[in-house]
Amino acid sequence: MSEINKVVLAYSGGLDTSVILKWLQDHYHCEIITFTADIGQGEELEPARAKAIKLGITPENIFIEDLREEFVRDFVYPMFRANALYEGEYLLGTSIARPLIAKRQIEIARTTSANAVAHGATGKGNDQVRFELGYYALEPGIKVIAPWREWDLTSRERLLAYAENAGIAIEMKHKAGGAPYSMDANLLHISFEGRHLEDPKAEAEPSMWRWTVAPEAAPDAPEFLDIEFDKGDPVALDGKALGPAAMLTELNRLGGKHGVGRLDLVENRYVGMKSRGCYETPGGTILLKAHRAIESITLDREVAHLKDDLMPRYAALIYNGYWWSPERRTLQVLIDHTQIGVSGWVRLKLYKGSVVVVARDSAVSLFDKSIATFDEDGGAYDQKDANGFIKLNALRMRIAETARRRRTQ
């Protein structure tokens, strides 16, 4: 323990990380630096400063930073260029936030000469992997402290007793047995896990959802919106230029208003177990639909299909914590190259939980009406050419079937 001279703790200001802060002081007797990231969780972060000071952290060792723009620009947008979905449904809202937090922790460790970092992820979940793979990829010699894998606070009762003895404020919801769900929020999504949701056959309570209205309670009139893309990224909404954080914030508002973006999923965690989670990703759901629509008219067929082939692998890399890996970086170069011509606009209709593409156009569209038309095309496409095309593509199957018949005679 004496080899730890200074540790940078990912600190939310909540009960668990406050207990971790005190535990680090008690067990490692080292200088503590707290880092609290604003990635759009929608909570006031200044109370984290007051709590840290109350626990003995000096003001110069408290870092509270607004990372919303960087989060969307450098992490969410590159991921959406790939149309990434984990196991066909999950938009990776929690997964994509962890590499940014890890990156900033390491940067703070470097500037403050800290030789260790710490996080509050449990030993059962994915986040411990995501944080620590990021730490080691960016700073190979860093020491990592994961209190949930070290301490003996193995029950909620022990945790609360430790907090009470340390003078850490305990909210009534914790005294009464804890909040009904474990929640994680950022600009891309809010997730819910635990308690009632641990039974996959139990429907999520209607009161659980925070960002989206129930689809049946959404407005009776549809709402249309236009999203403009440049090189694969959204740059304007209804003709108004918006930066990344502002764009996602507004899409969240519009999607939430119309009940868009709810998901109830049993997923496969990287550590081996199945887990049930519920997610609200209104802006991301809209963005994915719009991005695929603009790609449909601007991407070459084989490039689009190659991206679809690679997407599950790319999504799994992010889910499993390999954002900083050489393979994810390599895939990103390929994906970003495909987006050079992905520019134009998409019109969508939001209505009672659904997102429907109704129009799209691009100055570099590959859609050629003169060829695709069912009407007279002026010789742009000779339908007789299909004869040879079909026969050549059928040749191997004809040969195989002929050979099969010979064998069975």
pLDDT of residue 169 exceeding 70, the answer is: yes
pLDDT at 348 (0 to 100): 98
**Is 75 a domain residue?**
no
First-to-last C-alpha distance (Å) of the chain: 78
Query: Does 199 lie in the same domain as 124?
Result: no
- If asked whether residues 212 and 250 sit together in one domain, one would say yes
Per residue in 385-409, pLDDT (tens digit) is 999 999 999 999 999 999 999 999 8
Whether the pLDDT of residue 210 is over 50: the answer is yes
pLDDT value at residue 126:
95
Question: Is pLDDT larger for residue 105 or for residue 370?
Answer: 105
Provide CB contacts within 8 A for 218, sequence distance 6+: 257, 258, 259, 351, 352, 353
Least confident of 75-79, 205-209, 368-372: 368-372
| Choice among 68, 98, 276, 360 that is catalytic | 98
User: Is residue 325 predicted with pLDDT exceeding 50?
Assistant: yes
Same structural domain, 209 and 195:
yes
User: What's the pLDDT tens digit per position in 96-106?
Assistant: 999 999 999 99
Q: What is the mean pLDDT of residues 261-276?
A: 96
Comparing 16-30, 44-58, 149-163, 253-267, the range with the smallest average pLDDT is: 149-163
Whether 355 and 375 share a structural domain? no
**Residue 217 sits in the same domain as residue 128:** no
Residue 377 has which token pair? 């095309």
What's the pLDDT score for residue 177? 56
For the segment 277-294, the average pLDDT, to the nearest whole number, is 98
Residue corresponding to tokens 């991921």: 79
Tell me if 172 is assigned to some domain. Answer: yes
Lowest-pLDDT choice from 5-14, 150-159, 192-201, 264-273: 150-159
Residue 320 domain-assigned (yes or no): no
Is it the case that residue 310 has pLDDT exceeding 70?
Answer: yes
Select which of 182, 296, 325, 365 is catalytic. Answer: 182
Total number of domains in the chain: 3
pLDDT in tens, 341-356: 999 999 999 999 999 9
What CATH number has the domain bearing residue 202?
A: 3.90.1260.10
More confident residue, 275 or 176: 275
16 noted as active-site residue: yes
Give the containing element (helix H, strand E) for 315.
Answer: helix 301-319
76 in a structural domain: no
73/383 Cα distance (integer angstroms): 46
Mean pLDDT of 270-283: 96
Q: Is residue 222 situated within a structural domain? A: yes
Q: What is the pLDDT of residue 1?
A: 47
Contact (CB, 8 A) for 34 and 61: yes
Over residues 363-368, the mean pLDDT reads 96
Q: Hey, what are 369's tokens?
A: 């009406």
375 band by pLDDT with thresholds 50, 70 and 90: confident
130 and 37 housed in the same domain: yes
Please, which pLDDT band fits residue 194 given cuts at 50, 70 and 90? confident
Residues 156 and 206 occupy one common structural domain:
no
Among the three residues 160, 178, 196, which one is the final residue of a domain in this structure?
A: 178
Among 82, 102, 107, CA closest to 92: 82
**Active-site residue, 98 included:** yes
Residues 190 and 64 grouped into a single domain: no
Based on the domain organization, do 170 and 227 belong to the same domain?
A: no
Q: Does 402 lie in the same domain as 294?
A: no
CA angle 405, 408, 409 (to 5 degrees): 85
What integer is the mean pLDDT of 296-318? 98
**In this structure, are residues 51 and 12 in contact, taking their beta carbons and an 8 Å threshold?**
no
Asked whether residue 154 falls in the same domain as residue 259, the answer is no
Mean pLDDT of 322-343: 98
Q: Which long-range contacts (CB under 8 A, 24 or more apart) does 48-57 make?
A: 48/11, 48/12, 48/13, 51/13, 51/18, 51/169, 52/11, 52/13, 52/21, 55/18, 55/21, 55/22, 55/25, 55/166, 55/168, 56/25, 57/21, 57/32, 57/33
Which of 127, 160, 178 is a domain's end point?
178
Confirm whether 319 is domain-assigned. no
Q: Tell me: do 222 and 157 sit in the same domain.
A: no
Give the ranges where 117-205 is alpha helix by DSSP (H).
127-138, 156-165, 172-175
> What tens digit of pLDDT does each residue of 224-252 get?
999 999 999 999 999 999 999 999 999 99
Catalytic residue among 18, 127, 262, 362: 127
Domain of 393, in residue numbers? 369-408
Confirm whether 335 is domain-assigned. Answer: no
| CATH code for position 158 | 3.40.50.620
* CA-based max dimension of the chain: 88
Please say whether the beta carbons of 62 and 52 come within 8 A.
yes
Tell me the percentage of the chain whose pLDDT exceeds 70: 97
Q: Residues 12, 16, 68, 81: which is the catalytic one?
A: 16
Flag whether 219 is in a domain.
yes
Q: What's the average model confidence in pLDDT over 138-145? A: 98
DSSP label of 12: -
Mean pLDDT of 62-75: 98
Tell me what pLDDT residue 269 has: 96
* Average pLDDT of span 240-266: 98
Please give the full DSSP string across 97-127, using - where no structure is assigned. THHHHHHHHHHHHHHHT--EEE----TTSSH
In this prediction, residues 272-282 reach a mean pLDDT of 97
